[in-house]
Amino acid sequence: MATATALAGCSGAGVEEIHGVAYDDRFAADVLDVYLPEDGETARPAVMFVHGGGWRIGSRDHHVDHARRLAESGYAAISIDYRLTPDGVYPRSIQDSMCALAFVRSRAGEWGIDPDRIAVMGYSAGGHLVSLLGVATDEPDFAPDCAADRRRRRPR
């Protein structure tokens, strides 16, 4: 179940945090956290973080500081978990990442995000996954089958 809290940021702007949002109900690992500026803006740009850890360790908590700073600066930020090995063996982690991006786009209106201005960022294994999000969305092996991806749009 997702929970929401509001924190005052360093810049004085509040940040709404929504934790534990399931982006694919089939897998317990497929959850994300959302960080939103409390400025009333809509159609804001967003950054989705994908953590590293060699596809076997790590969590969305690794990007809390980055996500809060971006939200304090007027961006929406999303940090995702994905299935780790052994459950997340190839190609499941990239399928999860694609599902997360599709889910964020499907919730863009609710979260005040411009669905055409979502950047993805990651390091290590997360860098590998976001690279694939950028160049391999048409690869048949990576095609996700989650509910959010049924209205799939190609990332720009």
Q: Tens of pLDDT along 89-115? A: 999 999 999 999 999 999 999 999 999
- Residue 156 within any structural domain of the chain: no
Residue 35 in this model has a pLDDT that exceeds 70: yes
Mean local confidence (pLDDT), 19-42? 96
Q: What is the pLDDT of residue 149?
A: 79
Q: What is the pLDDT of residue 155?
A: 45
Residues facing residue 31 across a β-bridge: 22
Residue ranges making up the domain that contains 119: 14-151
- Residue 102 within any structural domain of the chain: yes
Mean local confidence (pLDDT), 70-82? 98
- Residue 1 within any structural domain of the chain: no
Q: What CATH code is carried by the domain that includes residue 35?
A: 3.40.50.1820
Confidence at 11, pLDDT banded by 50, 70, 90: very low
- Residue 95 within any structural domain of the chain: yes
- Residue 7 within any structural domain of the chain: no
Mean local confidence (pLDDT), 44-52? 98
Q: How far apart are CA 97 and CA 80, in angstroms?
A: 8
- Residue 6 within any structural domain of the chain: no
For the chain, what is the domain count?
1
Q: What is the pLDDT of residue 144?
A: 86
Residue 153 in this model has a pLDDT that exceeds 70: no
